[in-house]
Each structure stands twice: as structure tokens, then as C-alpha cells.
């Protein structure tokens, strides 16, 4: 048995008494123990202990963190941004492995212990991005668990050869089949989704589809996703990212879609965007739908925003959903922890004895204070090892 | 002549060459001078120099900063929050002078040099809040210029005696006549606005009206405000805060209102909220309307969010308005600097030689980087004196 770590004076919730937390062999061994002779001791200073933050939607292959500032002069449409990105990837000589490493070190310091990254696959970059992110994943496996979504950012059927690249990526070890705007980008919703679900079936992988489509178009694509989830028995294996169409108010289709998403156990991943309609988190959660949070791109050619901090993202979820009550703010944090863990199908996640010691100490008078104040993380543990301290990445 | 301050190695914009800035007698004396014998020198380290941040909408009398955490369990309606606030003010024994002082020190450290505060007036608190904030204003006059809006948070006509209190506050030195939701809260739009404009005329003061009313109701109230602005020749003297109704998409009234707001030179103040419709900043600015930014309440009984940082608010303006291009992000900062200065009717504001030395040094590779990264402010000058350094308030 390796040396135990006792984190003293931590709280599991606003109303909980301070206690100590024992970590042994990478797991939570229990609470309330006093340190003994050989134990390593860390003073929790009254911080809250929460399970590791889960980033459920980002793009490790294309952050510009640490690179020369990219001056954004892009046009207003989605397709402008997609086309601009392929162009800039060449012009900027973007190195996905290096950029992934930069984002990983940054987010580990913020307390992210699990992360899902979509990685571009297209006929220009091929599967190089996937290879690079897999390389970074291997390099940082002691710090962060990463699953990779094979993501056809520029469409699949509109660019012949892309499906074969998706197959290569999945063969190589990409964990999830990605998809994108079956109507708006692919222009062939049936063709796109049949292909996505066929890949999922062939490789036995879950699905995560970017759905930016607004209003009725997005609702239609959601119906097509639901039909295929039902037909193939993929309940609990399908996620829709963004799902802006669920945020439209005063339309008939939203309640029906929410019922059907709950029925087919399709998960929703949101960035809580402020400039567009967004899934109503509390309503979805109350319907029994798993909702996770994501940063989306962190400072990339799409936009300059984002730092990957999922505690700040929880605040954005709260702001976007007009969460003012403390219990609602706590729900926003659940989205960025337990929600993401469920979307990723994690096991052994949480604060119970026996769970993996993937933990963060956050500072605040109450849990809500900790979320809205977003202070530096006191301590980040991954598999029981210290990987972040006082806001800094700690290599080991 | 007092000792000069030379701030070396500062940039006035992303493409500008680093230069030095000379401050003398509280003013910007020029650029490009080398320090001489008696000059005080501060190393600007390549930071951007911007004019002081302007907080155009907050509530100094009711922040809970520094108090025991308030657990929010409020109901969902606006009136629930207004009623809850009057109740909590008693229960929490809120001391407006003290709370104003806390918020002032915090925001000076963030680089705010000018601030407009709405201060509650009602038949319970009377004008005590105004007296208290005036006391804090006097105490901190070397650090921050504050104008006070006499704000009938609980309505005027629905609570007899409130108009007389408004008159007392204005007599005592409140700078601006406030108003609130003429339909939704006051239930008498004509009565409310006639009273607000009559007070403005009687005391010769500008107007700033909270308008949360959505859709057509808000559009109607806006029309009534415009009619009175025109009739009384108050062009350039009227601001509407929030103006959610301008953010509704696909309705006929918005373009008409925008034209009329530009015509009557009515200003718009926005917090860039993410959970409701919000004024479209770029469209308003392009129409010639002055748009300013505000934090609204900073951690109060309405909600736990907010820290008063107007650089973070500029980021929120950018996020809310889907500003991705660097020039758009710069516009978001303009809203939180020049826009606020115009709403407050400030003179001598800006970076030109001869302007008041109310300045902030912000760190970043580019101006957009400085805005989205929100690093600690290197230096804050008020009337040429150092009042903030490395994120801390500096008393003098």
C-alpha cells in the first residue's frame, strides 16, 4: 500500500461539518480519520471538496493557447468560421499535440480530471489531429482522462473520403463517433445520421453530435436522432452537444422533444452560451435528462473567449439559466461534475468512500460562493496524486 | 506644480508602438517624454493604457460584499425579489455606507474611476440609503467619481409618500431621477413617467429608468419615454437601463424604436445579461445611440453573481453580442469606458493630452487578449494619483 494522504479540514457541502478525507491507493478511503505516523497531510483550510470537474465538450486539437495572438476578422456565418478554420490551420501551422498539451496543463490546474475532446477529421488534415491528441492523451494520462470524439467538422458526405477517415480514427482508438448539423452543414440529414449511427454500430461506440441548428430545423434533426437511437437500442449512448433548438420559448415542439429525449436517455451537453438560445438546464434535469457542461473551443480561431475553467463554466450555466437561489447554483456545478461524468460513462466517480480520488478543493464561504468567486484551486488530485496546487499544474 | 509621473512602456492600442505617458497636475500632460530628475517613474511593462473603466449601472447601497453569505431562496418573479429585498434589508441589518465602501474599494482596484449608482428610495428606508451612499461618496471622492440616482425600487405612486422622498433626495443632492417599469411594477405608465419627467424638469436633472419589461410592454413604455423626452426637449439627458425589449428578434417594433432612440438621443445601459433578451449593442452603436455597460447588483439579495469588474463586464458584452472579431471585442470595451462616460456626461475623459489622468494599465498581448484574460490591473490612476496597483486598492 502506498503512502496515505490525509486532507484535513474539508467540507462536503455548505452545511456539512469540516472533516478529514483519507486517500489511499488512488481511492477515497474514508472520512474523519486522524493522520497517523507515515501519512502525508495536507491542510484543506476549510475548503470544499468536490469531485473532479468534467469538461464534456472541448476541442483540444485547436486551441491557440500559448501561440501568438490570432487577430480574428472572420465573417458572420457558421460556414465562414468552418472554412476560415481550415485555412488558418495551415497559415498558423497549428500543432495539435502541442496545443492539446497546453490546454491540458491549464485545465488540470483548474481542477478538470476528465475531459471529452472532439477532434477534427477532414480530407485536408486527415486523422493527424486524432493521432496528435492521442499522443498528448498518452503523455498526460496520469493527470487527465480524455475521450476522443472523431469529429467531421467540415461534413462527411459533402467531402468524399471523410467516412473512411472516420473509420480509420475509430479503428485507431477514437472513443466516440461525432456528427455535425445534419441539415445546415451536411445538407443531407438522413444520409449524415444514417452514417453516424452505422459507424457507432459497426465500432460499438457512443455518439456525440454537434447540433447548432436553430428552431424547427434543429428540432427536426433531433427527431431524426431520437428515431435512430430508439431503432438501434442506443439509449444512454447518444449525446447532443449545443442543442440550441431546445432553448426556443413558446413553441410546441420543445416539450415533446424533452419527453422523447428523456425516454430515449439522450444526453445534452451545453456551453451555456449567452448569445443564442440554450437548453433550459433545470427543466431538462427535472425531466430526468443528463445534462453536462463544456467550454467548447478555448481561445481558437472561432473566438477569443474561454480558459477551460469548468468552475467558471458552472457560473455561466447559472447566469444563462437565471439561477439565483443557492440550490440552483449548486445544480449548475452538478452539471459540470456529475453530469459530465454520466455523459462520459465514468465509473467510480464521486465523493463516496471507494470512489476514485479525483478531487478538487475549492475555496469559499459556501458552495455557491466558491462557484461565483472562482478562486484559484487549492488542490487538485488525480487518482490520489497531487496534480494541481494553488492554481498551478503540478507535474509528477 | 506637483511631481510629475512618467509611466514608461505603455501602448494605446494593439498596433501602437510602446511609448511613455506623462501625468502632471492630475492630467495627461503628453506622450513620449523621457523621465527627468524629479519625476516619479512607473514601469508600464508593455501594458495597454485605457481610460478609467466606467460603471454605468450598479447599486452601491445593497451589495453584500464582505458580509456573511446570504443563502438565496427567493421566488421566481421580479416582484418576489423586490419584496424579498425590503424584508432582507431589515433582517440582514444592511448598512449602505459600509457596503458602498466595500464595493468602492473593490472596484477601484479593478480600474473603475467613474460610477453611477442607483440608490433605493421607498417608504420603509426613506432616504437613508441616499444619505449613506453620499457619505461614502464623500469619503472616497479622491478615488472614484460617483453619481447617485434616486431610485424608487418599489414604485412611486403605488406607495404614497415616495414622490416626496424622491424630492428630498434630489434636494439633498441626488444627481439623477430614477424610474422603474412603469407598467409592470407601477401599474400606471402615464402616471409614473409624468412624475419622473416632472421631477427631472423641476430639479433640472437627467433621467435613468430601469426597464425590465419584455416585448411589447417594454416597447410601449419606451415609446412613452420617447414622447416625453421629445416634448420636454430632454434629448441626451435620458437613459434607459436594461431595455430587454430591444433584444427581441423578428418583431416590427425594434427597428422603429432604435430609430426613435437615436433621434431623441436616449442612451441605453446594458449589463449584457445572458438569461434574457438584451439590447443589440453593435446595432445600437451603428445607429448612433450611446451604449454603456453596468454590473447591476454585485452579490446582493437578488443574486450571488458579480464582482464589479468592468473589464469582465466588457467580456460579457462581447459574449452576449457574439463578438468574435478583435474589432468587435474592442467595441465591447468602448461600451464599458467611453459609453459610460457619455451616459454620465463626463468631460475631459479619454487618452488625449489634456484629459484627466483617470487611467488603467491592463495586461495583454493585444487589447482583445487583455479583455478576455481579465488579469489583475497593473496600475489605476485617479486624477493622476495611484489608487490601485496589481489588483489591490491603494489608499492615499
CB atoms within 10 A of CB B73: 11
User: Phi-psi region for residue B180, left (φ > 0), alpha (ψ -120 to 50) or beta?
Assistant: beta
Cβ neighbours of A305 in B, within 8 Å: 315, 318-319, 372
A66 at interface of B, judged by CB pairs closer than 8 A: no
**pLDDT tens-place string over residues B44-69:** 999 999 999 999 999 999 999 999 99
Among A88, A251, A303, A309, most B C-beta atoms within 10 A, so best to mutate, is A303
Domain boundary (B343, B363, B379) is at: B343
The distance of Cα A326 from the centroid of its chain, to the nearest Å, equals: 23
Residues B33 and B161 in one domain: no
Chain B positions touching A273 (Cβ under 8 A) are 274, 319
Reported ipTM: the value is 0.95
Answer yes or no: is pLDDT of A15 > 90: no
- The answer, yes or no, to whether residue A287 has pLDDT greater than 80, is yes
Q: Both A293 and A371 in a single domain? A: no
Q: How confident is the model at residue A314 (pLDDT cuts 50, 70, 90)?
A: very high
pLDDT of residue B13: 87
Does residue A69 sit in the same domain as residue A217?
yes
User: Which of chain A's residues have a Cβ under 8 Å away from the Cβ of B320?
Assistant: 274-275
Do A64 and A129 fall into the same domain? yes
Nearest in space to B370 (alpha carbons), one of B310, B322, B301: B310
In chain A, % of residues over pLDDT 90: 93
Nearest Cβ partner for A322 among B275, B307, B326: B275
- Residues ≥6 apart with Cβ < 8 Å to B71: A14, A326, A366, A368
Closest alpha carbon to B169 in B198, B219, B132: B132
When CB atoms are compared, the residue of B81, B273, B304 closest to A329 is B304
Residue of A nearest to B281 (CA): A275
Question: How far does B234 lie from chain A, in Å, by closest CA?
Answer: 33
Residue B321, chain A, CB below 8 Å: the answer is: yes
Instruction: Determine the pLDDT at residue A76.
Output: 85
Instruction: State pLDDT tens for residues A46-64.
Output: 999 999 999 999 999 999 9
Q: Over 90: is that where the pLDDT of A86 sits?
A: no
* CATH code of residue A329: 3.20.20.140
For A354-382, what is the mean pLDDT? 97
The total number of structural domains that make up chain A: 2
Rounded average pLDDT over A15-41? 95
Instruction: Look at residues A110, A220, A384, A249 and name the one whose alpha carbon lies nearest to residue B248.
Output: A249
- Give the cell for residue B208: 435613468
CA B149 to chain centre: 11
Give residues with Cβ within 8 angstroms of A263, minimum separation 6: none
Q: Is A42 an interface residue toward B (CB < 8 Å)? A: no
Q: Are residues B253 and B369 in the same domain?
A: no
Mean pLDDT score across all residues of chain A: 96
Distance between CA atoms of A361 and B161, rounded to whole angstroms? Answer: 51
Domain boundary among B343, B361, B376: B343
The answer on B278 and B169 residing in a single domain is: yes
Cα–Cα separations (whole angstroms), residue A350 to A52, A339, A353, A374, B170: 8, 11, 9, 21, 56
Of the candidates A213, A204, A264, the one whose C-alpha atom is nearest the C-alpha of residue A239 is A264
pLDDT digits (tens, 9 = 90+) for A331-354: 999 999 999 999 999 999 999 999
Q: How far apart are CA A108 and CA A389, in angstroms?
A: 10
- Residues A118, A55: Cα–Cα separation, whole Å: 11
SS3 content of chain A, % helix, strand, coil (to 5): 35, 25, 40
Query: Closest Cα of chain A to B315: distance in Å?
Result: 8
On chain A, the residues whose CB falls within 8 A of the CB of B276 are 322
B316 and chain A in contact, CB less than 8 A: yes
Claim to verify: residue A139 and residue A260 sit in the same structural domain: yes
Cα distances (Å, whole numbers) of residue B265 to A296, B55, B201, B226, B291 = 39, 20, 17, 9, 11
Residue A85 distance to chain B (closest CA, Å): 13
Same domain, A188 and A321: yes
Q: What are the pLDDT digits (tens) for A224-259?
A: 999 999 999 999 999 999 999 999 988 999 999 999
Average pLDDT over residues B299-303: 94
Q: Is the pLDDT of residue B1 over 70?
A: no
The answer, yes or no, to whether residue B2 has pLDDT greater than 80, is no
- Pairwise CB contact (< 8 Å): B304 & A74: no
- The residue of A14, A64, A275 whose CB has the most chain B CBs within 10 angstroms, and thus the best one to mutate to test that interface, is A275
Label residue B89 by pLDDT band (50, 70, 90): confident
Asked if A366 has any chain B CB less than 8 Å from its own CB, the reply is: yes
A 326-355 residues with CB < 8 A to B: 326-327, 329
Q: Are strands B5-10 and A48-51 parallel, antiparallel or unpaired?
A: unpaired
Task: Clarify whether residues B27 and B72 are in a common domain.
Answer: no
Q: Does A267 touch chain B (CB under 8 A)?
A: no
Q: For residues B9 and B49, what is the distance between their CA atoms, to the nearest angstrom?
A: 10
The average pLDDT across A359-367 equals 97
Instruction: Say yes or no: B86 and B154 in one domain.
Output: yes
In this predicted structure, the answer to whether residue B332 has a pLDDT above a threshold of 70 is yes
Domain assignment of residue A365, given as a range:
5-51+350-393
Read off the pLDDT of residues A166-199 as tens digits, 9 standing for 90 and up. 999 999 999 999 999 999 999 999 999 999 999 9
Among A249, A274, A282, A306, pick the best mutation site for testing chain B contact (most B Cβ within 10 A): A274
pLDDT at A14 over 80: yes
Instruction: Say how far apart CA B332 and CA B330 lie, in whole Å.
Output: 5
Q: Buried b / exposed e across B172-209, counting CB within 10 Å, b at 16+? A: eebbbbbbbbbbbbbebbeebbebbbebbeebebbbbb
Q: Which three cell numbers stand for residue B113?
A: 474611476
Can you give the CATH number for the domain in which A43 is found?
Answer: 2.30.40.10
Q: Is the CB of residue B249 less than 8 Å away from at least one CB of chain A?
A: no
In the predicted structure, residue A294 carries a pLDDT above the cut 80: yes
SS3 B29: strand
pLDDT bucket at A1, cuts 50 / 70 / 90: low
Q: What percent of chain A has pLDDT over 70?
A: 100
Same domain, A207 and A354: no
Q: Does position A75 have pLDDT exceeding 90, yes or no?
A: no
The answer to whether the Cβ–Cβ distance between A365 and B320 falls below 8 Å is no
Same domain for A23 and A106? no
Of B304, B315, B324, the CB nearest to A72: B324
User: pLDDT tens digits for B95-109?
Assistant: 999 999 999 999 999
* pLDDT value of position B86: 87
What rounded mean pLDDT belongs to chain B? 96
CB-based burial, B307-332: b 16+ in 10 Å, e otherwise:
bbbbbbbbbbbbbbbebbbbebbbbb
Amino acid at each position: 500500500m502506498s503512502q496515505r494522504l490525509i486532507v484535513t479540514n474539508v467540507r462536503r457541502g455548505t452545511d456539512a461539518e469540516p472533516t478529514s478525507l483519507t486517500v489511499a491507493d488512488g481511492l477515497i478511503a474514508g472520512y474523519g480519520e486522524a493522520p497517523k505516523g507515515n501519512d502525508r497531510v495536507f491542510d484543506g483550510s476549510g475548503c470544499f471538496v468536490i469531485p473532479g470537474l468534467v469538461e464534456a465538450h472541448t476541442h483540444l486539437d485547436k486551441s491557440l493557447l500559448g501561440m501568438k495572438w490570432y487577430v480574428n476578422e472572420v465573417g458572420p456565418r457558421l460556414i465562414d468560421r468552418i472554412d476560415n478554420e481550415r485555412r488558418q490551420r495551415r497559415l498558423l501551422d497549428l500543432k495539435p499535440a502541442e496545443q492539446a498539451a497546453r490546454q491540458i496543463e491549464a485545465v488540470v490546474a483548474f481542477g478538470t480530471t476528465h475531459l471529452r475532446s472532439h477532434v477534427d477529421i477532414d480530407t485536408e488534415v486527415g486523422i493527424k489531429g486524432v493521432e496528435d491528441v492521442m499522443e498528448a492523451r498518452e503523455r498526460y494520462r496520469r493527470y487527465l482522462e480524455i475521450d476522443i470524439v472523431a469529429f467531421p467538422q467540415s461534413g462527411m458526405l459533402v467531402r468524399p473520403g471523410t467516412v473512411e477517415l472516420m473509420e480509420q480514427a475509430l479503428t485507431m482508438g477514437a472513443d466516440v463517433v461525432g456528427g455535425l448539423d445534419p441539415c445546415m452543414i451536411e445538407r443531407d440529414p438522413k444520409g449524415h445520421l444514417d452514417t453516424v449511427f452505422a459507424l457507432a454500430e459497426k465500432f460499438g461506440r457512443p455518439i456525440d453530435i454537434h447540433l447548432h441548428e436553430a428552431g424547427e430545423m434543429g428540432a427536426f434533426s433531433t427527431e431524426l436522432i431520437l428515431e435512430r437511437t430508439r431503432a438501434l437500442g442506443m439509449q444512454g449512448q447518444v449525446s447532443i452537444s449545443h442543442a440550441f433548438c431546445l432553448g426556443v420559448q413558446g413553441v410546441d415542439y420543445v416539450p415533446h422533444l424533452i419527453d422523447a429525449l428523456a425516454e430515449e436517455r439522450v444526453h445534452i451537453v451545453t456551453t451555456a452560451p449567452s448569445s443564442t438560445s440554450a437548453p433550459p438546464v433545470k427543466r431538462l434535469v427535472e425531466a430526468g435528462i443528463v445534462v453536462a457542461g463544456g467550454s467548447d473551443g478555448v481561445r481558437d480561431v472561432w473566438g477569443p473567449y474561454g480558459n477551460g475553467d469548468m468552475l467558471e463554466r458552472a457560473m455561466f450555466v447559472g447566469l444563462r439559466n437565471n439561477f439565483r437561489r443557492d440550490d440552483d447554483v449548486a445544480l449548475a456545478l452538478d452539471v459540470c461534475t456529475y453530469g459530465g461524468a454520466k455523459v462520459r460513462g465514468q465509473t467510480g466517480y464521486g465523493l463516496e468512500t471507494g470512489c476514485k480520488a479525483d478531487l478538487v478543493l475549492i475555496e469559499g464561504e459556501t458552495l455557491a460562493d466558491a462557484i461565483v468567486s472562482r478562486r484559484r484551486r487549492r488542490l487538485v488530485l488525480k487518482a490520489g496524486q497531487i496534480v494541481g496546487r494553488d492554481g498551478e499544474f503540478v507535474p509528477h
